[in-house]
Structure 1
Amino acid sequence: MTGLKAKLKTLIEAGGPLPVSAYMNTCLHDPEFGYYATRPGIGRDFITAPEISQVFGELLGLWSLHEWQALGGPDPFDLIEVGAGRGTMMDDMMRAIASVGGGERFRLSISEASPVYAAAQKARLSEFHPDFLGAFETLGERPFLLVANEWLDCLPARQFVQGGEGWLERVVGLTDEGDLTFGLATDNVEKLSGEPADGQTSIEVQPALDTLCETLANAFVRAPGRALLIDYGPAGNAPGDTLRAFKNGAQVGPLDMPGESDLTVDVDFARLARLAEKRGLKVSGPVEQGPFLMALGAEARMQALIKANPDRAEQIYEGVKRLVDPDELGSRFKVICLSAPGMPPPAGF
């Protein structure tokens, strides 16, 4: 039995079954055994867009420069990334910004929950002297742009199953043999806001989406800015049961290797947009990743890279194709931008 599985068993025996959100949070962030605390697996368990092609980060860098200029070129100015992985995307962003003579007035900040990734970011981004934020406590002190790629999908989700007069929360408990198993909290029937799709019998809710929108709304009272969020999930109906686990590039059971596999859920972009609009934010999107990147000049940048690196032409082409092709990541991933009230639509939307 792994260290975290034993710890979870003790928690459940002492306090009863855990909501899926609590199980997910413990698996990812337990300081002693959690996945992101001890063994984050970019390039091993999963791969992200910045690791597939440098074009991804370069285009977001130029987008950031454009949006800074649209804000009037404020100085000082914060460029913030949440969940920056190994620092690959921000490194590509800053290189692209510098290539057109920008970035001198940018203050780079990183909000990172993983100490392993934070160490990698400090090494890779040392020339930019980033600040490392424990959370969003300084958000809004200055005009800012916030970017996050594949961060929302890691936010813990509560799961509900339709049962009679309302919705029953899905929990993680123990079998008679002491193994982890899914069950339902039948002692508490909940009413969920928003109407599920016809015939939908399960639904996921990420409470942190509420917190994100509230934090941005409070920050935009103090300073203008935007938050660009890229992740996978539907643009319309709320996700049902999408909890998945990945280990060494293969999908495994979510209860099989707690703390040793990455856990992820689809993002409910429609709910995120509703929450943002409710708080007065300007919402652009969600749009599909492929058209968004193409609108920012993905094809032109790809051709320039191929011309400069003809020996890597096929690799460059395949990387960009994977990001924009609707049969690969181009339609699965969505892009949404949440802005201060009254701002014009950002580039790419």
Structure 2
Amino acid sequence: MTNLKAKLTALIEAGGPLPVTAYMNTCLHDPEFGYYATRPGIGRDFITAPEISQVFGELLGLWSLHEWQAMGAPQPVDLIEIGAGRGTMMDDMMRAIGQAGGGDRFALSISEASPVYAAAQKTRLSPFHPDFLGAFETLGDRPFLLLANEWLDCLPARQFARGKDGWLERVVGLSDAGELTFGLATDQIGALSAEAGDDQASVEVQPALDTLCETLEAAFAKAPGRALFVDYGPADHAPGDTLRGFKDGQQVGPLEMPGESDLTVDVDFSRLARLAQKRGLDVAGPVEQGPFLLALGAEARMQALIKANPGRAEDIYEGVRRLVDPAELGSRFKVICLSSPGLPRPAGF
């Protein structure tokens, strides 16, 4: 039994089954044994777009420079990344911004839950002197651009199953043999009409999406800004049961290796857009990642890289193809931009 499994077992024995949100949050963020506290696995358990091709970060860097200009080129302005991994995306962004002559325009800030990743970011991004004190603590004190790639999918989700008279919350408990197992709480919670379709047997709801929109509303009330999110999930309906684990590049059951595998869920982009609109935010998207990157110039940037690096032509082409091909990441990944009211429509939408 792993240390975290023993801890979860003790928690369940003492207080009863855990909602899926509590289970997911403990597996990812327990300070002693949680996945992100001890063994974040970019390049081992999973790979992200910035690690596939430098074009991804470069285009987002140029997008940031363009949107800063669309905001009226305010000075100072914060460039914020949430969940920056090994710092690859921000490094590529700043290189592209610098090559376009905007390298001194932004004050960088990183919000990172993983101490392992934070250490890597401090090393890789040290030339840009980023602030690691926590982006959300000062969000909105001045104009800002916020970006997050594959961060929303790590926000813990509640899961519900449709019962005869209403919805029941899915929980994690213990089997007769003492193993972690899924079950259903006994209390009905009523309707979830705003979250689930009439024919859905199950639905996931990420409570932190509400908090995110509330935070952005408060920040935009103080200063203009945009928040760009790239992640996977459906654009027009709520996810059902999508909780899954990843270990060494393979999908594993979410209860198999608590604390040793990454846990993730699909993002409900339609709900995020709905929540943002209710709070008066301007919403662009969601759009598919492939068309978004192509609209920003992915093909032209790829050709320029191939011309400058002919010996790497095949690798460069293959990386960009994976990002934009609908059969790869191009359609499964979506892009959404939440903005303060009154700004021009963002590029790529």
After superposition, residues 104-123 of structure 1 pair within 5 angstroms as: 104-123=104-123
**1:136 partner SS:** helix
* 1:49-105: CA deviation from partner (whole Å, max 9, x where unpaired): 000000000000000000001111111100000000000000000000000110312
User: 1:121 deviation in Å?
Assistant: 0.3
User: 1:193 deviation in Å?
Assistant: 4.7
After superposition, residues 86-105 of structure 1 pair within 5 angstroms as: 86-105=86-105
List gaps (5 residues or longer) in structure 2.
none
| Structure 1 residue aligned with 2:269 | 269
After superposition, residues 1-349 of structure 1 pair within 5 angstroms as: 1-134=1-134, 136-194=136-194, 196-349=196-349
Say if 1:233 and 1:267, in contact at 8 Å, map to a contact too. yes
Say if 1:113 and 1:134, in contact at 8 Å, map to a contact too. no
- RMSD (Å) for aligned C-alpha atoms: 0.8
**2:189 partner SS:** strand
Say if 2:70 and 2:344, in contact at 8 Å, map to a contact too. no
Relative to structure 1, the CA distance from residue 29 to residue 195 in structure 2 (aligned partners, 3 Å threshold; closer, same or farther) is: closer
Letter in 2 for 1:127: P
Say if 1:165 and 1:189, in contact at 8 Å, map to a contact too. no
**1:336 partner SS:** strand
Aligned equivalents of 1:45, 1:31: Cα separation in 2: 20
Say if 1:112 and 1:133, in contact at 8 Å, map to a contact too. no
User: 1:135 deviation in Å?
Assistant: 5.2
**2:209 partner SS:** helix
Relative to structure 1, the CA distance from residue 42 to residue 195 in structure 2 (aligned partners, 3 Å threshold; closer, same or farther) is: closer
Aligned equivalents of 1:195, 1:59: Cα separation in 2: 33
User: 1:189 deviation in Å?
Assistant: 2.8
Say if 1:65 and 1:103, in contact at 8 Å, map to a contact too. no
**1:348 partner SS:** coil
Aligned equivalents of 2:37, 2:13: Cα separation in 1: 24
Q: Which TM-score applies when normalising by structure 2?
A: 0.99
Aligned equivalents of 2:94, 2:282: Cα separation in 1: 26
**1:190 partner SS:** coil
User: 1:199 deviation in Å?
Assistant: 1.6
The number of residues matched between the two structures is: 349
Identity %: 83
Aligned equivalents of 1:304, 1:20: Cα separation in 2: 47
User: 1:187 deviation in Å?
Assistant: 2.5
Letter in 2 for 1:105: R
Say if 1:158 and 1:170, in contact at 8 Å, map to a contact too. yes
Q: Which TM-score applies when normalising by structure 1?
A: 0.99
User: 1:330 deviation in Å?
Assistant: 0.1
User: 1:132 deviation in Å?
Assistant: 1.0
User: 1:190 deviation in Å?
Assistant: 3.4
